[in-house]
Structure 1
Amino acid sequence: MGEFQLIDRYFKRRALRSPLGVGDDCALLAPAPGMQLAVSSDMLLEGHHFLATVDPVRLGHKALAVNLSDLAACGAQPLAFTLALALPQADERWLEPFSRGLFALADAQGCELVGGDTTRGPLNICITVFGEVPAGQALLRSGARAGDDLWVSGTLGDARLALEVFRGTLSLPEPVFQSARLRMEQPVPRVALGQALRGVASAAIDVSDGLLGDLGHILRQSGVGATIDATAAMDLLAAGPALQQSGGGLDQELHLGCVLAGGDDYELAFTAPAARRDAVQAAAAQAATPVTRIGRIEAEPGLRLVDGRGRPIERRYGSFDHFA
């Protein structure tokens, strides 16, 4: 099977938003009047971002989900995406389920494939996603202000639990491990919540590399600091499916590390004025996504952790960095 036969069989679909579909040198996209384009790219490399044992259906889902999560953090509506795919070989047993998982999520989010590229090489998946957001209403990292609440959607830490099992540093009952593994391999992008938070949240980011590291981007670009209640943060894992099934019992340091620096969660961390707490909860209800308030934004630079009694926690937790 050649390159163009591969594209025709697994990735060529009629696109409504680009009149050229995937059959020309460029896709043509026109945002609706009064809208801005939101564009993001992510690369997934075998051995770095996913294991060779991952189900191709889940990998197809995750490849697009991590990009949609960026749109969610911006409050944007997905429109279209391009796919650049390097493959060691044209393996139909891999391509069929991968494309099925990819398009299942794309169809659910109304996001069309409008172009890309294929080549031979080590397995590498690069997606560029396009969305639109009303002009001037995009959620940014630079809008947090002293006095804002700090919120997180969903739960954090399950993906890290699964990774620790793969690394051999942790043992979990099989049903618990499979629940955590699903969170790692098939994350749910919070697209509906991001849109519901437009006009409510002051800043937002998706949690991909770990809560503390990603939150640090908001603090630096907003010129503020923050204090996180570690007890409230630990509830973000305690409420997750894996720990609920296991009945708890994790070592506290491991528990905190999974929540604060685990990564691969693709939840939203966002700030909002304290006076907008009811509006935040209304947005969460509209998006059918739970949110938890875990801290506050402060004028003093830096990121501080405290326990349930307000006492400082001195230990530092490092988030993922490709080149650290």
Structure 2
Amino acid sequence: MPRDEFSLINEYFAHRSAKRGDVAMGIGDDGAVVRPIPEHDLVIVTDTLVEGVHFDKTTPPRSVGHKSVAVNLSDLAAMGAQPCWVSLALTLPQIDEDWLKEFSSGLDEICSYYDCQLIGGDTTKGPLTITITAHGQLPEGTAIPRSGAKAGDWIYVSGSLGDAGLGLQVTQDKVSTTGRHLQQVIERLHYPTPRVALGQSLRGVASSCIDVSDGLLADLGHLMKEAGAAAQLELEKLPLSLALTETLNVDDALALALTAGDDYELCFTLPEEHRGRMETLTSHLKTRPVCIGRVANGGHGDIQLRYHGDEWSLADGYQSFNHFSHSDMSQEES
């Protein structure tokens, strides 16, 4: 008997994912009904993954399911929100039962881990495309903006940069790495970790925040443009993994850390008076944020790069991700 939309939804999505007490009506009705916490704001984000742009036919479907949710939870983390509900719009070229089983398992695992329930969506036929809309909550007025940085604020990132970019280069046979690093960079590419706990710890502390999806230079540039400020980075302080530094020379490692997307670390700014509080609030986290520079007066998104006190320039051939300037399959984005 031919499959239809409703049998697919019922088998692969209706009975999966976390079950939250604040979902009054979920999958199976024309719309979902949820009960937000009183005196809380809703944060709503949407992200799309397209085959041939964000992943290719060799990408494990379980990782596609994981990543489609992770990139949205990363946006919620950058706002300081607690993830609650997601909806899924899935466009399939044909019904592939094995692909659907693995995809839905990856989606279910990350939703369950972050107590985030799948509450609805849509399925259609067409080029393979996954669109997730995620909803989060936070106390009224505590969302972290992109626009709050001030001169004198310190610039932090939540973890190592460039690993996902290296993983992409490995999958495209542009570079090779040793066996002990291979799994690490492929995991960083296919199974990013949204910094949800850190984002919530930064409410009322960070002056601005963004997740690193297009590359540090591009995303930090957004913060600086919103603030009408400039950034001064000390590149020797960038957190780089052994996988990156033992695979590439220093200049290429720094360039990849600055431009590669898909790390989904948080980049945030912090006033001097909040540095001690941030250290206390994040002391329980496995990965601690690293200070990499400072916000300066003047400029509208300008970023000055220095390495051990000397000016440093990005080599030709490196640029951050932009959907409309890349023709080849690239990884990204928020």
Task: Please classify the TM superposition score into its range, dividing by the shorter chain length.
Answer: over 0.9
Residue in 2 that maps onto 1:320:
321
Residue in 2 that maps onto 1:306:
306
Q: Kindly indicate whether the alpha-carbon contact (under 8 Å) linking 2:150 and 2:295 is maintained by their aligned counterparts in 1.
A: yes
Q: Following TM superposition, by how much is the alpha carbon of 1:89 offset from its aligned partner in structure 2, in angstroms? A: 1.5
Q: Kindly indicate whether the alpha-carbon contact (under 8 Å) linking 1:180 and 1:241 is maintained by their aligned counterparts in 2.
A: no
Q: Structure 2 unaligned segments of length 5 or more: list them.
A: 326-334
Q: Kindly indicate whether the alpha-carbon contact (under 8 Å) linking 1:228 and 1:305 is maintained by their aligned counterparts in 2.
A: yes
Q: Following TM superposition, by how much is the alpha carbon of 1:175 offset from its aligned partner in structure 2, in angstroms? A: 3.2
Distance in 2 (CA, whole Å) between partners of 1:274 and 1:170 is: 41
1:165 is aligned to 2:170: yes
| Aligned match for 1:296, one of 294, 298, 302 | 294
Which SS does the other structure have where 2:25 is aligned? coil
Correspondences of 1:67-78 after superposition (within 5 Å):
67-78=72-83
Q: Kindly indicate whether the alpha-carbon contact (under 8 Å) linking 1:160 and 1:264 is maintained by their aligned counterparts in 2.
A: yes
Paired amino acid for 1:155? S
User: Per-residue displacement from partner, 1:33-91 (whole Å, max 9, x unpaired)?
Assistant: 11000000000001110121112222111110000000000000011010000111221
Whose helix fraction is larger, Structure 1's or Structure 2's?
1
Residue in 2 that maps onto 1:178:
183
Q: Kindly indicate whether the alpha-carbon contact (under 8 Å) linking 1:17 and 1:112 is maintained by their aligned counterparts in 2.
A: no
Q: RMSD in angstroms over aligned alpha carbons?
A: 1.5
Which SS does the other structure have where 1:269 is aligned? strand
| Aligned match for 2:268, one of 258, 267, 270 | 270
Residue in 1 that maps onto 2:122:
117
Q: Following TM superposition, by how much is the alpha carbon of 1:275 offset from its aligned partner in structure 2, in angstroms? A: 2.5
Closer, same or farther in 2 for the Cα pair 1:162/1:262, shift >3 Å? same
Closer, same or farther in 2 for the Cα pair 1:75/1:122, shift >3 Å? same
**Once the two structures are aligned, what percentage of the paired residues are identical?**
45
Which SS does the other structure have where 1:19 is aligned? strand
- Number of residue pairs the alignment of both structures matches: 316
Correspondences of 1:130-149 after superposition (within 5 Å):
130-149=135-154
Which SS does the other structure have where 2:58 is aligned? coil
Q: Kindly indicate whether the alpha-carbon contact (under 8 Å) linking 2:46 and 2:132 is maintained by their aligned counterparts in 1.
A: yes
Q: Kindly indicate whether the alpha-carbon contact (under 8 Å) linking 1:142 and 1:222 is maintained by their aligned counterparts in 2.
A: yes
Q: Following TM superposition, by how much is the alpha carbon of 1:164 offset from its aligned partner in structure 2, in angstroms? A: 1.3
Q: Which runs of 4+ in 1 moved over 6 A?
A: none
Distance in 2 (CA, whole Å) between partners of 1:7 and 1:315 is: 47
Residue in 2 that maps onto 1:22:
27
Paired amino acid for 1:303? I
Residue in 2 that maps onto 1:92:
97
Q: Following TM superposition, by how much is the alpha carbon of 1:292 offset from its aligned partner in structure 2, in angstroms? A: 0.6
Distance in 1 (CA, whole Å) between partners of 2:216 and 2:180 is: 26
User: Per-residue displacement from partner, 1:142-175 (whole Å, max 9, x unpaired)?
Assistant: 1111100000001111111111122322111233
Q: Which moved more, 1:206-215 or 1:87-96?
A: 87-96
Correspondences of 1:7-46 after superposition (within 5 Å):
7-13=9-15, 16-46=21-51
Q: Kindly indicate whether the alpha-carbon contact (under 8 Å) linking 1:15 and 1:113 is maintained by their aligned counterparts in 2.
A: no
Closer, same or farther in 2 for the Cα pair 1:313/1:241, shift >3 Å? closer
The normalised TM-score by structure 2 is: 0.91
Which SS does the other structure have where 2:231 is aligned? strand
Distance in 1 (CA, whole Å) between partners of 2:248 and 2:98 is: 39
1:202 is aligned to 2:204: no
Closer, same or farther in 2 for the Cα pair 1:147/1:305, shift >3 Å? same
